Structure 1
Amino acid sequence: MKAFVYEKGSLKVTELPNPQAGAGEAVVAIKAAGLNRRDLYTPGRLGDDSEALILGSDAAGIIEAIGEGVTDWQVGDEVIINPSLRWYEQSDTPPVDFDILSFPDHGTFAEKIAISAEQLEHKPAHLTFEEASVIGISPLTGYRALFTKGQVVAGQTIFIPGAGSGVATFLIQMAKNVGARVIVTSRSEEKRQAALEIGADVAIDTNEDWLELLKDEQIDVVIESVGRATFNRSLDVLKKGGKIVLFGATTEDVVDFDLRKFFYGQYTLYGTTMGSRDEFRACLAHLAEFNTHPVIDRTFSLNEAETALQYLKENHQFGKITLTI
């Protein structure tokens, strides 16, 4: 089968043996796969002497074979892959054997994958394969951040720095689905306008004075993923007693902030990453209930995977990027 791999210091499309379904597994013929920023970082974790590893964590496809003991699935079922491995029940933290698909095991940028049947869910009927292929890391992360940690409800105001990421576009849509008010930021006028078009109520320039522009807002929850570049600015606009939910740090990881200001403000800081199968299923039900379609910025072929990664690295996208396979 054809696959996009990182091997001995280089990215390339190559031929690998077809996977076989072991006990409890299914082989999925992948129709489309979604990119995540994780795919940019995995090669750096592997080093220059690594054997071929297929990148990619998200995908949708059709079951073509099932292994011994698999009773809940049939050949021909249309499925999406839950990339949150072995985290089944909702909990404060993932289990000790939790991993994210594609490291250390093979991922989804390939024509086929053999994976535990426990990691499969039915493809939402209202989504195309390309749309379904991005229902993985981004919406699961966003769902847990919004609803498990942030406890967002109708009438609250949510602030999301960085409007163009895949997670951000899901956050905007899901928060609006439940009746929240959504404020976003971006340096790009084009991305600010796109955020408004998918439901954001206010979109401000990252370089503007947030305190001045938002002085009349009561922000209940900040969903932060930018890191050092925006963390303290986000804290400044959060109402007293508000929550910050943090799931990423696309700028520097280490942040200095005023502890006295924090505890006087009675703020709450939550960390989160990915989510459980319970939350993934709840997320799927939410998307189906509100007929929510992911925002797809561009679609590339598997042969163009390296170009797609470069496009992602340069932050050109608004929403998600997919590979058709």
Structure 2
Amino acid sequence: MKAMVLMGHGGLDKYEWHEDWLTPSPGPMEVLIRVGACGLNNTDVNTRTGWYSKAVSEATTGGAYADVAEEDPTWGGRPLTFPRIQGADVVGIVVAVGEGADATLIGRRVMVNGWLRDWDDPDNMDKTGYYGSECDGGFAEFATADARNVVPVDSDLSDAALATFACSYSTAEGMLSRANVGAGDTVLVPGASGGVGGALVQLAKLRGARVIAMASEAKHDEVAKLGPDRILPRAPADLRAALGDEKVTVVADVVGGPCWPRLIDILERGGRYTCSGAIAGPIVEFDLRTFYLRDLTFTGSTVLSPQVFENIVRHIEQGRLQPVLAATYPLRELREAQQAFIDKTHTGNIVVIP
């Protein structure tokens, strides 16, 4: 089969294009999927570059880093085995099943839940992995997945549109769940023009919250289509003044970086900060006095329950979410697609098509 294969940590040159890669066979409790589309996300970039390593303190650049510790270059703080086919956001048709897997899945269009689990201990976060990281994923013509991690989807949306949902929307829903967002909250979303940011806007609105999006002004028209109540510039010089009388109870952040203290300063007493990324930089200035004197709650969000993904699929089938598909690229042009993703050339998600 054709596949884009990651050969090691580093720059985009670490991807190799192969047209004769061995097509996988489904093992016990696995299905074989003919990949229709696969979305890109920050995990692909950060894993390739080794950005998750504690040795790296820079923002996500997409390039190689001078120092990447061998023991912790992945999201889970463990070494990665190469060669590796990345790509978590798989949409496609099940064409075969392994022993024990549900044969009625053959011929069904499915989405893949990226969280790998020990099915004897499925709620144990320490026993999780991620699709396209701890096992091969969807940057290929075919991919295998655990049958318990695929969800049939009944939708008129294209494969490319569906491939925008899995990682971004599950990540966003996990963040909002951890922060217990609901009616009466006002949620501030930095980076609202990105995949997770756009998902946060829509999902927070579904929960009945007031949503204030932050994005570069050139992207305000696109962000407005997602339905936020207000849109602010990406980095106002005086965020408090820009907010006016708004009382922000939740900040849902995947940006971090030098503007981070301003986000914390505008939270109301008893407010919540929830985080699942730090693309502008993982090292921030943290004033503990603001944290405890305002009775703030901070939650990190990574490993999600299976119900989060299943809820996203149900929202899709009911037409309650809109995809933010920015562009599609042929799989062979994955390097160019990922560079465009890094450069934020487009507003929203980028998908590759085998």
Task: Please report the TM-score for the alignment, with normalisation by the length of structure 1.
Answer: 0.92
Tell me what 1:138 maps to. Answer: 168
1: CA distance, partners of 2:294 / 2:121: 30
Offset at 1:227?
A: 1.4
Offset at 1:199?
A: 0.5
Offset at 1:42?
A: 2.2
Whether 2:217 is the aligned partner of 1:189: answer yes
Tell me what 2:230 maps to. Answer: 202
Tell me what 2:253 maps to. Answer: 224
The letter of the residue matching 2:16 is: K
2: CA distance, partners of 1:207 / 1:314: 18
Contact 2:87–2:137 (Cα < 8 Å) also in 1: yes
2: CA distance, partners of 1:248 / 1:88: 27
The letter of the residue matching 2:161 is: E
Residues 140-164 of structure 1: CA deviation (Å, up to 9, x unaligned): 1100111x21211123211011111
2: CA distance, partners of 1:87 / 1:278: 16
Q: Structure 1's 319 and 78: CA in aligned 2 closer, same or farther, altered over 3 A? A: same
Residues 238-297 of structure 1: CA deviation (Å, up to 9, x unaligned): 111111011111122122222122211111111111412121112222333353121100
Tell me what 1:156 maps to. Answer: 185
2: CA distance, partners of 1:156 / 1:43: 37
1: CA distance, partners of 2:323 / 2:121: 24
5+ residue gaps, structure 2, are 51-69, 74-79
Q: Which segment is superposed worse, 233-242 or 188-197?
A: 188-197
Structure 2 residue aligned with 1:111, among 127, 130, 141? 141
Tell me what 1:289 maps to. Answer: 318
Contact 2:35–2:90 (Cα < 8 Å) also in 1: yes
Tell me what 1:6 maps to. Answer: 6
Whether 2:212 is the aligned partner of 1:174: answer no
Contact 1:55–1:108 (Cα < 8 Å) also in 2: yes
Whether 2:46 is the aligned partner of 1:41: answer yes
Structure 2 residue aligned with 1:76, among 92, 107, 125? 107
More strand by share: 1
Secondary structure at the aligned position of 2:335 is classed as helix
The Cα RMSD (Å) is 2.3
Whether 2:159 is the aligned partner of 1:129: answer yes
Residues 64-92 of structure 1: CA deviation (Å, up to 9, x unaligned): 0011111264310110111111177999x
The letter of the residue matching 2:147 is: A
Offset at 1:50?
A: 6.9
Offset at 1:41?
A: 2.2
Secondary structure at the aligned position of 2:144 is classed as strand
1: CA distance, partners of 2:154 / 2:217: 33
Q: Structure 1's 2 and 94: CA in aligned 2 closer, same or farther, altered over 3 A? A: same
Offset at 1:179?
A: 2.5
2: CA distance, partners of 1:275 / 1:72: 27
Contact 2:44–2:87 (Cα < 8 Å) also in 1: yes
Contact 1:90–1:278 (Cα < 8 Å) also in 2: no
Secondary structure at the aligned position of 2:26 is classed as coil
Secondary structure at the aligned position of 2:33 is classed as strand
Contact 2:39–2:352 (Cα < 8 Å) also in 1: yes
